[in-house]
Amino acid sequence: LGETTDSGINIYPVPAKDFINLKANSVIQSADLIDVYGRLIFQTKFTDNSKEQGVELRSLNAGIYFIKIKTEAGEMTQKLILE
């Protein structure tokens, strides 16, 4: 799913239910949610130049996903468990 080029990204709470919070050392530009089959579920672009963002997950089914976060410093993909 990609190489980690920004390890200064935190995602919480894990496991998640209705939302997740993203916190990074640099400005967060986007977040892509990908299912276990590699399909893009949704993409969110952030335009407010913030190092902290929230992502709504209420409409998603429980399961395992991957979240790919892009920042000014790089990107990171992490497994996300949704209850």
Report pLDDT digits (tens) over 22-47.
Answer: 999 999 999 999 999 999 999 999 99
Mean pLDDT of the region 41-56: 96
pLDDT at 2: 65
30, amino acid identity: S
pLDDT at 74: 93
Quick check: 83 and 62 in contact, CB under 8 A?
Answer: yes
Tokens of 37: 């089959």
